[in-house]
């Protein structure tokens, strides 16, 4: 048993690592992708290109525009002089927001009346527009508060408002709300999913394609020796990729690792049961490597979209939320983020780990059973 398994492993590892392109795919691409994700997948909204259409041009209106500029969220790129330019800028996408201050803005404020202020947003990207709107509201609110505190008492000779509620917010786990802290560790899950599932299915199907599978069936090698020989190398490669990405996250992006790395590898092992199970399953339904690749992507896309990697599961329709319980990525992402950012341990993460164990056992068991059947 061990002798044959050892032979399979030696052969698989030679095959996986001999080709320089393959080494590149296995170990360099994950690091590169982590870096790309770290920089590119960024939902922080800063320096929103903004035009100001100030028809009032009074100290008050200029003060307000300056506050937008100073906040760091808005970058005023143009001051508009005519109405038609508003449409033009928006249509061309040259700005994402336009601040319009009507004539008489300063006078209204001075007179103690409500002064309307308009912000026009490019709502194509609804997410960004929402965030920009939120920033604008905060700036306007602050402006209001100060106005009430200084200007009004001066003009009326009395303090109208003694105080109000001020929200003091603190974000735990990701103190500066940096999106790289949220996304970079999660890249581990995607890379491990793609590499182990895709490559393991292709490694099996390749043997079918070149005819060595038939040769294997004629030798006394057992099914379990063959399956273990095919999957264990990808378990090792999966672990190495986790280590590579963790190192890049830690040393390049300064993502904190607050929990136990040992737990991370333990959870990875549980996650690999599912990915290798899927890989093996795909190899039973494919006869060429191309088919295996196409079928893998058929699994990978929904798995990524419905994992909570980018889109919160809580926002999905209820039916789809239930569906995500079948997605191993969903559990693994919670574990990764829990370990990296929250520093929690198995006492908190056990439900997710149990989920991975159950899911992995079912998928792997089913795939192995099917695999044996197709060979017979």
Partner 1 sequence: MSDLAVTLRDLEKRFGDFVAVNRVSLDVKRGEIFGFLGPNGAGKSTTIRMLCGILQPTAGSGTVAGFDIVRQPEEIKKNIGYMSQKFSLYEDLTVEENIDFYSGIYRIPDAKKKDRKEWVIRMAGLTEHRASKTAILSGGWKQRLALGCAVLHEPPIIFLDEPTSGVDPISRRNFWDLIYHLAGGGVTVFVTTHYMDEAEYCDRLALIYRGELIALGTPAELKTRFMEEEIVEVRCSRPQDAMEIIEAIPGIGHAALFGRTLHVVAQRADESIPAIRESLAAGGFTVDGIERIVPSLEDVFVSLIEARDRETTPQQEFSR
CA-CA-CA-CA dihedral for 360, 365, 368, 370, to nearest 10: -120
Residue placing its CB nearer to partner 1 in the complex, 6 or 46: 6
Q: How far is the CB of 228 from partner 1 (least distance, A)?
A: 14
Looking at the Cβ atoms of 14 and 310, the one nearer to partner 1 is 14
> Measured from the CB of residue 229, what is the shortest distance to partner 1 in angstroms?
10
In angstroms, give the least distance from the CB of 213 to partner 1: 8
220-251: string of b/e by CB count within 10 Å (b at 16+)? ebeeebbbbbbbbbbbebbeebbbbbbebbee
Q: Are 184 and 253 in contact (CB under 8 A)?
A: yes
CA angle 301, 304, 305 (to 5 degrees): 85
CB of 184 to partner 1, least distance (A): 34
Smaller CB separation from partner 1, 213 or 326: 213
| Shortest spacing between CB 284 and partner 1, in angstroms | 16
| Of residues 19 and 83, the one with the C-beta less far from partner 1 | 19
Burial (CB count within 10 angstroms: exposed 0-12, middle 13-18, buried 19+), residue 56: buried
| Interior angle at CA 328, CA 324 and CA 331, nearest 5 | 80
Continuous segment of H or E residues that includes residue 285: helix 261-285
Q: How far is the CB of 219 from partner 1 (least distance, A)?
A: 5
The DSSP letter of residue 93 is T
Answer for the pair 152, 160: CB distance below 8 angstroms, yes or no. Answer: yes
Q: Which is nearer to partner 1, 19 or 88 (CB)?
A: 19
Closer of 212 and 287 to partner 1 (Cβ): 212
117 vs 216, beta carbon nearer partner 1: 216
**Binding interface with partner 1 (CB under 8 A):** 3-4, 6-8, 10-11, 14-15, 18-19, 210-212, 214-221, 376
Please compute, for residue 249, the number of CA atoms within 13 A of its CA located in the half-sphere on the CB side.
26
Shortest distance (Å) from residue 308 CB to partner 1? 39
Q: Other CB atoms closer than 10 Å to residue 216's CB: what's the count?
A: 17
């Amino acid at each position: 048993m061990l002798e044959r398994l050892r032979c399979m492993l030696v052969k698989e590892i030679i095959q996986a690592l001999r080709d320089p392109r393959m080494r590149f795919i296995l170990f360099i691409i994950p690091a590169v992708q982590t870096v790309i994700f770290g920089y590119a997948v960024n939902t922080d909204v800063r320096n929103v290109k903004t035009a100001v259409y100030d028809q009032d041009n009074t100290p008050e209106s200029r003060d307000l525009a300056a506050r937008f500029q100073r906040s760091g969220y808005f970058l005023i790129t143009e001051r508009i002089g005519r109405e038609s330019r508003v449409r033009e800028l928006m249509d061309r996408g040259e700005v994402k927001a336009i601040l319009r201050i009507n004539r008489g803005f300063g006078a209204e404020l001075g007179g103690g009346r409500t002064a309307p202020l308009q912000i026009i947003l490019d709502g194509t990207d609804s997410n960004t527009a929402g965030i920009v709107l939120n920033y604008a509201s905060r700036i306007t609110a602050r402006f209001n508060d100060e106005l009430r505190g200084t200007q009004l008492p001066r003009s009326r000779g009395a303090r109208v408002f003694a105080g109000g509620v001020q929200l003091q917010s603190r974000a735990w786990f990701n103190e500066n709300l940096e999106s790289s802290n949220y996304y970079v560790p999660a890249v581990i899950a995607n890379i491990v999913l793609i590499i182990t599932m895709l490559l393991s299915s292709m490694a099996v199907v390749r043997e079918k394609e070149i005819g060595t599978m038939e040769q294997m069936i004629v030798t006394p090698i057992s099914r379990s020796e063959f399956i273990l020989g095919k999957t264990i190398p990808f378990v090792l490669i999966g672990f190495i990729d986790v280590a590579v990405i963790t190192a890049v996250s830690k040393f390049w992006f300064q993502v904190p690792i607050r929990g136990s790395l040992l737990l991370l590898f333990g959870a990875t092992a549980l996650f690999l049961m599912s990915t290798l199970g899927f890989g093996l399953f795909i190899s039973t339904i494919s006869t060429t490597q191309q088919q295996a690749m196409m079928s893998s992507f058929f699994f990978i896309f929904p798995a990524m979209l419905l994992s909570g990697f980018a889109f919160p599961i809580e926002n999905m329709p209820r039916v789809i939320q239930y569906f995500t319980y079948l997605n191993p990525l969903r559990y693994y992402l919670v574990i990764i983020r829990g370990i990296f950012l929250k520093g929690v341990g198995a006492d908190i993460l056990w439900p997710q780990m149990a989920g991975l164990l159950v899911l992995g056992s079912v998928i792997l068991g089913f795939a192995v059973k099917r695999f044996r059947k197709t060979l017979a």
